[in-house]
Structure 1
Amino acid sequence: MRQHYPSPLAWNVVSQSSNLRSQLTSDTAGRDRHGMRRRPTRGPSRNGRHDERGRMSAGAVEDAIARFFVDGAGRVGSADHDALWSALREAAEGGKRIRPMLLTTVYEALGGTDERVAGEVAAALELLHTAFVVHDDVIDGDTVRRGRPNVSGTFAGQARSFGLAAERAARYGDAAGILAGDLALAGAVRTLALCGAGHETVRRMLDLVDRALHVTAAGELTDVRLGMLGGRDLTETLTMEEHKTAVYSFELPLQLAAVLAGSDDACTEALGRFGLLLGVAFQLRDDLDGMFGDRARTGKSALSDLREGKCTPLMTYARDTDAWPEIAPHLGAETVDEGTAARVRDLLLACGARRFVEDLARGYAQAASEVVAHLTVAPLLQEWVTAVTDEVRSAA
């Protein structure tokens, strides 16, 4: 029988949460910027509505992103630069802005009041995310994002229209994707460095971004390696998901919010641990969507993870079951079609992999709630947990 075991991070957080709670409560009592109870600030909403304060923050973020693209448009007077910049601007449009929303709502809840500075930092986060997405598409060989050609797909299509063969056109598209991602990455760091916060605050935030870049790059490479060689170790697979997604998408926004609001190290650390746990729950949900989700709802093809040979926890679990000999030939096969994918889904359901990952996601979300239960911003953070766990439940 398949052994069910928690990730080291979740196990460690659950076992230590009571000690951490008592320590942080005594450290932060009575200080507004360190977690003193305030009027609850709205977090993510399942019906898409936010209060006036949330809309103001969103406006500041969008203004900062718009300024970035306007300022950069005239840097180089060449058609190639204009084409790259236009494609990058399109790549930055249409996202859910989860990372900026997480940063700004928590920053406000911690007592932060400088909307413009917070907007700049949140815009830097969105540019960082755009850089990772554009580069990730190159790594995965994807040419479509959000139902339309991505940067690589756009330029590859242009090359084909010039009469280039498919292979050479793809190389041109990948080159454009790498370069556009580089521009977004440099722009993210520059935007953060010039956000208008104090020198020491900026230095601390740059240190956090630098660490996140290193960890995320390593996580991306682990993902590629596991996809090529396979993986039987659930701990390694979960650590990859923590490094590739949770660190920059959840831990980093929360820690930046705390530093920018002037919170102490204990609060910043607790928020970071919450972000890691919630981020893995979010990625597990994404893994479920990648196999079982409705494309009309998720925007993600149910074939891509199979065709790319993604080593998700679903597959790591299935490797140790009787279903694996029938699943294995289809993992990484470019010929996978809807019928084959439906059979793989049935096998993952029958062998218990789907239920295991759903339970694992809920376990991470529960551990996230527990590690910040002592903080006075816990009600806001619980809204984020609920949003993630509701998505897991809706995939069932």
Structure 2
Amino acid sequence: MIATDTDAALRRLLEEGRTRAALVDRHHALLWEALEAATQGGKRFRPMLVVATHDALGGSRARAAAEVGAAIELLHTALVIHDDVIDGDHVRRGQPNVSGRFQSYARTAAADPDDVIGYGLTAALLAGDLALAAAVRATATCDAPREVVHRLLDLLDSALHTSAAGELADVRLSMGRDEATLAESLAMEERKTGAYSFALPLQAGAVLADAPAGTTDRLGAAGRMTGTAFQLVDDLVGVFGDPVRSGKSTTNDLRTGKQTPLLVHARSTPEWARIRDYVGRDLTADEQADVRSLLVAAGSRRFVEDLAEQHLADARVVLTDLGVPATLLDDFTTRPPALGDGNGAAA
């Protein structure tokens, strides 16, 4: 029922956007089609967290919970599209993303190479903006009392500010002028992912259920812990993963020198003298295998796996204490299917 309700709500949002886009021109319609494609393939765990938390806390606003869950999923799509622009990625889950699609359109029109790139980035920025606006509008017009909607919008605004700060910190730390501490790297991880992907859905569900402020605050803390664990695992997939199964590059983080906890820990080990030679440049397949082996030998992979598991364990304690099923977090493990063994082979 949860998936059915939230999927139906998301379809309504996308259909409304498609209708508006069709009234403009065919190029704008293509932009919305690319945005719709960007919503496909995810696990929809953000809407699930909203609805399940609302239900567990005795809420009676099922329709509003589904609508807000769909809005948060669309918010996720917006931030993913913008994140791909920031990282210079043109593929997502093995398929051209928004910028990749529009680069293809520009090539078909025999555009100059610079214009091809510019057209793709322009389309991605605009699609992300449209998704963001649609998410805010859907939250503002959900089937809930005015005071509840105001609280939801405050949560959404706070999540956006926090996520923006985390994304900016990620890029700033990657500039490499200063070596990030583990605390700084973890704070970036929490802000970048935890705020909107976990804290926001859990808190939104609580607000819709008229839960006490203390419950909402504690769910926010649990969400931030879960988000940190999720991002830590994503960092591992970004080095040790199977791109075919994850749809995620296994070279980008090393090439751009992202100061993830994985590399921050490695920097404190004797193996760093060799690992650092692989950071900040493109790698061959053999070099990728070498650096993965070094990160395992340094204990960095195990360190990050253990850190992620501890964050998840702490979050589960909070959820259980509040009467929210900790099973909501069962899908977030430190060894997802897309994560390979120490040599990078798929598990």
Normalization by structure 2: what TM-score? 0.92
Distance in 2 between residues matched to 1:390 and 1:346, nearest whole Å: 18
Amino acid at match of 1:389: T
2:40 maps to what in 1? 93
- Residue 389 of structure 1 pairs with residue 333 of structure 2: yes
**TM-superposed deviation, 1:232:** 3.2
* Residues 369 and 69 (structure 1), Cα distance of their counterparts in 2 relative to 1, 3 Å cut: closer
Distance in 1 between residues matched to 2:106 and 2:122, nearest whole Å: 12
Distance in 2 between residues matched to 1:94 and 1:387, nearest whole Å: 16
**TM-superposed deviation, 1:67:** 1.3
Distance in 2 between residues matched to 1:86 and 1:232, nearest whole Å: 40
Q: How does 1:202-351 map to 2 (within 5 A)?
A: 202-229=149-176, 231-333=179-281, 335-351=282-298
* Cα contact 1:303–1:337 (8 A) shared by 2: no
Match of 1:74 among 19, 23, 27: 19
Amino acid at match of 2:69: A
* Cα contact 1:251–1:276 (8 A) shared by 2: yes
Provide Cα deviations, 1:230-257, integer angstroms capped at 9, x if missing partner: 6330100000000000110000000000
2:313 maps to what in 1? 366
Aligned sequence identity (%): 50
- Residue 64 of structure 1 pairs with residue 4 of structure 2: no
Runs of 4+ with >6 A deviation: none
Distance in 1 between residues matched to 2:29 and 2:340, nearest whole Å: 41
Distance in 1 between residues matched to 2:113 and 2:294, nearest whole Å: 36
* Cα contact 1:117–1:197 (8 A) shared by 2: yes
By relative contact order (CA 8 Å, sep 6+), the higher-ranking structure is 1
- Residue 155 of structure 1 pairs with residue 102 of structure 2: yes
Distance in 2 between residues matched to 1:326 and 1:178, nearest whole Å: 38
CA RMSD of aligned residues (A): 1.7
Q: Secondary structure at the match of 1:387?
A: coil
Q: How does 1:121-132 map to 2 (within 5 A)?
A: 121-132=68-79
* Cα contact 1:292–1:302 (8 A) shared by 2: yes
* Cα contact 2:309–2:334 (8 A) shared by 1: no
* Cα contact 1:303–1:338 (8 A) shared by 2: no
Greater mean deviation of Cα atoms: 105-114 or 172-181: 105-114
Amino acid at match of 2:245: R
Structure 1 runs not aligned, ≥5 long: 1-55
**TM-superposed deviation, 1:316:** 0.7
* Residues 367 and 179 (structure 1), Cα distance of their counterparts in 2 relative to 1, 3 Å cut: same
Distance in 2 between residues matched to 1:389 and 1:91, nearest whole Å: 24
* Residues 352 and 391 (structure 1), Cα distance of their counterparts in 2 relative to 1, 3 Å cut: closer
Greater mean deviation of Cα atoms: 291-300 or 356-365: 291-300
2:344 maps to what in 1? none
Q: Secondary structure at the match of 1:94?
A: coil
Greater mean deviation of Cα atoms: 157-166 or 186-195: 157-166
1:118 maps to what in 2? 65
**TM-superposed deviation, 1:392:** 6.0
Greater mean deviation of Cα atoms: 336-345 or 194-203: 336-345
Distance in 2 between residues matched to 1:89 and 1:254, nearest whole Å: 25
Provide Cα deviations, 1:350-393, integer angstroms capped at 9, x if missing partner: 1111111111111111221233442222xx12x13433236369
Structure 2 runs not aligned, ≥5 long: 342-347
* Cα contact 1:318–1:351 (8 A) shared by 2: yes
Q: Secondary structure at the match of 2:331?
A: helix
Count of residue correspondences: 337
- Residue 139 of structure 1 pairs with residue 81 of structure 2: no
* Cα contact 1:258–1:268 (8 A) shared by 2: yes
* Cα contact 2:56–2:323 (8 A) shared by 1: no
Q: Secondary structure at the match of 1:320?
A: coil
Amino acid at match of 1:263: A
Distance in 1 between residues matched to 2:104 and 2:266, nearest whole Å: 38
Provide Cα deviations, 1:177-233, integer angstroms capped at 9, x if missing partner: 000000000000000001110000000000000011111011100001111226330
